[in-house]
Structure 1
């Protein structure tokens, strides 16, 4: 992944534009406007990818109009806005989808996805098509593509080596305060401790907590490396976002336009995913340079414990029968 994000985006945009140019005669002369609402900033990897690759790929027949920083719709309200015909596009999450479609709660569980490639294979295969169809039928929202959004890792004080969930016994691990997050902390083997995100740095500094979990870019951004000693690559939550699109707008497009929208979405999310993976890989060296120990534990032991606890809990009651086994079987 030596190609920079900006160059990769440029090359993808050129390819998408060239493809669109071959089908100009099939597109209407009257452009439509595709309004996108996102809580992300304009400089976010996702925002950059969509504003270049996707926007260029549909430029023959549509104007991409992004609204950043929750300025159009607040985070968590976008799916309903699309369903009601008030919005054309958004970036959504499994957590937001699960609030409206309980079957999607399986994608919020720890240790479901092994890595970004496993995530891609799941959603580009039969499982993804089935779950996308469920969203389309229940919400009138079309999910175009999945994009990787980082992997949460453990970031701890002290030098005790963590290899299995048993090694986390008694470790006060800061987790977000909702039931789902607290359950994940227990599933990891730790003592989950709710604490406001703004208090985490001080909590680590004073020893009020022994550690916290976040994707590595967040650890760097918040300078948690200044008050911790190690990052344990548990990979307990491979996070994901989806590009959501209005089904009614989709149905008004002709076949060539639909193909351009789909291809542009897939190319954009692939570029976004590659950029985030590249950024995370570079951060390992950064943290090691700051004196932190970065290592991989027995991930299979963590995964087995977490999945068993989820299956025995109320969190799994809405999961489609056999879906967990099918996801695990994707290679």
Structure 2
């Protein structure tokens, strides 16, 4: 009995024969990658995820389906690492603070004046130190860190005209810092009198004189309009912050070696896009704040670095740091 056309096509598809008579490879379904981020759409960190998606889907057509969920709509900020560990989330951008909750040695990267600038950040995490610390995350958390991205450099933003050159000049300055113990410690290490306060209260507190200043990256200062109620920005560069583009170990293990390399390449391209644009923004903001009438200047950064590192090294935080790690990071040029 002869096969009908429909039956023949079905049989042909079942055995994987093409119209040209060759056996077709069995294609797996595209790997879905869900990314969660608290970033808003206008943030460079949100835009870098689109760069990652577009580059990966272009370099490996049909192999990946990347979904980007912004504004913390999929998972709230800080809950992403456990979600990746459970296999409920494929990718996220996580902080050193997030990692340090499970691996205390990582708290070294939350310390002031360890990372000097975005270039130093890349060299540290792209080198041997990064390999060692990324392996800790992979082994102990089951998360694959793909790359590090620049989050911004925190500066001092103060009321008044008093020139700040060294930590001694901050004595008695009521400096708003986030409320956690780690942030309050950094404020004290800088030489100020740290004052915990919710971010939403800072503008009014600066306006009334309840506090003398606050610390944030320049883009945050502009967005919150702190320049309207302050007189100066002291470019202390006291914390060069990072965000780590990471993938669940479970998802990573599903990928072929070739796919893994394409994921890493897309992550690096996204990182470079973010860093280039964020650095450009910060440079332009110096001019913006000067145009608003603020005094913007650099103090004796070496004096600040020396004091802050000394305070950390004798603190309880340092007990979890690998021996010699501060010297090793400082030595990276």
Normalising by the residue count of structure 1, what TM-score does the alignment of the two structures yield? 0.90
Match of 1:174 in 2: 176
What do the CA deviations read for 1:82-137 (whole angstroms, capped 9, x no partner)? 11111100010001111111110000001111111100100000000000000000
The answer on whether the counterparts of 1:34 and 1:65 sit within 8 Å (CA) in structure 2 is yes
Aligned residues: 307
The alpha carbon displacement at 1:254 in A equals 1.2
The answer on whether the counterparts of 2:56 and 2:64 sit within 8 Å (CA) in structure 1 is no
Structure 2 counterpart of 1:291, from 289, 293, 296: 293
Match of 2:110 in 1: 108
Q: Secondary structure at the match of 1:90?
A: strand
Match of 1:208 in 2: 210
For 2:92 and 2:309, the matched residues in 1 are separated by 30
Unaligned runs of 5+ in 2: 1-23
Q: Secondary structure at the match of 2:308?
A: helix
For 2:184 and 2:211, the matched residues in 1 are separated by 14
Question: Following superposition of structure 1 onto structure 2, how do residues 79-228 of structure 1 map, counting pairs within 5 Å?
Answer: 79-228=81-230
Unaligned runs of 5+ in 1: 1-24
The alpha carbon displacement at 1:181 in A equals 0.8
The alpha carbon displacement at 1:27 in A equals 11
Question: Following superposition of structure 1 onto structure 2, how do residues 15-94 of structure 1 map, counting pairs within 5 Å?
Answer: 28=27, 30-59=29-58, 60=61, 61-94=63-96
Tell me: CA distance 1:78–1:53, structure 2 relative to 1, closer, same or farther (3 Å). Answer: closer
For 2:135 and 2:99, the matched residues in 1 are separated by 13
For 1:327 and 1:294, the matched residues in 2 are separated by 29
The alpha carbon displacement at 1:44 in A equals 1.7
Q: Secondary structure at the match of 1:69?
A: coil
Normalising by the residue count of structure 2, what TM-score does the alignment of the two structures yield? 0.90
What do the CA deviations read for 1:175-217 (whole angstroms, capped 9, x no partner)? 1111111110110001111122111111111111111100100
Q: Secondary structure at the match of 1:240?
A: strand
Q: Secondary structure at the match of 1:159?
A: coil
Highest Rg: 1 or 2? Answer: 2
Alignment RMSD: 1.5
